[in-house]
Structure 1
């Protein structure tokens, strides 16, 4: 399977046991840097960030781009929520093609880079517009570089999401979140044996319980401001009740039944740059329609009612400064605005 990074294989043995899901993490790791050390220097307008609203890994890049105010320097293309084995497609754009790259499927940019490209076609991907070649789809590195290598083109008041004094703690928390939560929900959903599912389910809920306790008396995961750790957890929480609870069988509790995590998630959702990147309709369309092996009917559930994401969260009482010494970003450009929350 290509698309959201969910390439998976059934492994006999290994950490997850027989039938366990394993993510293919073979990416184009070329970096776009201020000094151009990999042959791709930072240049405003040269590159195009390709995301899909449905994908949690791409959601991270969309959030950081917003927080950094890079909308003009790094234009964004949005693939639709549906795809097949060939890759994400631009089926929401006029004529079914990205209006800048002129391609129907993201796969075309990878094949221009390497005609024999053997790995998954994933978002986020940054494409070099002059050549039409994919530069990188290394989702972890992309957000770090948007916060550092693109500093000359960031907005005034852009926050520091990876401050030096907290990096070790950010890395530690983000690693735990990735292993057990971001990827853990997929390990539950794509497990091919009861034992593999049971192990993934246990790890997921042990980590969610750990996060619930950590966030009882602190507003953010690390320090007193938003960091990369929060950016990496939020997309999974935003999709939890709508998709992962039922579709991926992560159903011990709903997010709305975890007091600290639910309040924390609403706090982030209501913070400029986070909730304004979320399109619940596209999220549900992707998971329930594309994952034929899990949901062969393709029926998309109507619920849950998402308006509760705007209910008061009370997290201000814990203190903290969302943007540190920075300021909130302005509203997203009109073409990038997501639909308002509605009753289902």
Structure 2
């Protein structure tokens, strides 16, 4: 009896132990199953944070403290950090105006020296047929006293200018060396008969012209005046109180186109070889295009404004024509002025521009 009770108690103890183990290990397994997802989530969260950090670096680059010689991240290895330029303070060769679009700069030659005062050359009496004493000032002087008419030819490189020489002249006459510095060939011809001439003298001269603008201030054959001529005195009066070259030009131009009318009869009768006498043109109050251009050049040159007398063609005027180019020293540029055309516009009560476009003029010769 006692033995049966012992066996029953043992069996009950076994069952209880089995149930306890089952409970304990069953809960442990459940707890372990819960730990795995937590670790995975933490690993996933860590990976996401790292990925997010990488993604953030791709868009929000932190300021670099590299030197100007150190390559920037993500750039070509030869690229360097650009130097900063202040827009509020001028930097040599770097500042760009924000009011105008940037344009390609073209290198320009230094501005010629301002010829504000006429650099007149005094012509000394000479027995030489061709006097090159003033060549360095851009002049050659001819003393032609032949009994027959003559010609003067001035050549440099492939360009040549030909002038008329008048028989029985007793005056020294100046001619320009307007082709710049270099070697000139000067030939004087004497008429024989018909179209035949003989060479009376030939000279070679090396001209080193230090002030090219002064060539267009001289008193020459085609632009010839005297200090006491009425238009020259008028020019001196007109420029009083004028501060700029353009103001002086406008004053003289206005006086010429108001005082001189176009002379159609003279145009029909003028002979070959005609050269204007500016004092006479002013006194007559009329003239042709050659007269306008010579008068303008004389008045402007006498007041220190370098001026060219130009010959060629323009669609504004029928036939061979003459006009002027004037150098505005304070602006550093040449401008085209056409008194003949403007005088007719003024007479017709029509507007006109003082400066003319170069596209409307075909220059053949300039003096």
TM-score (norm 1): 0.30
Whose strand proportion is higher, 1 or 2?
2
TM-score normalised by length of structure 2: 0.29
Higher relative CO (CA 8 A, sep ≥ 6), structure 1 or 2?
A: 1
Q: Is the radius of gyration larger for structure 1 or structure 2? A: 2
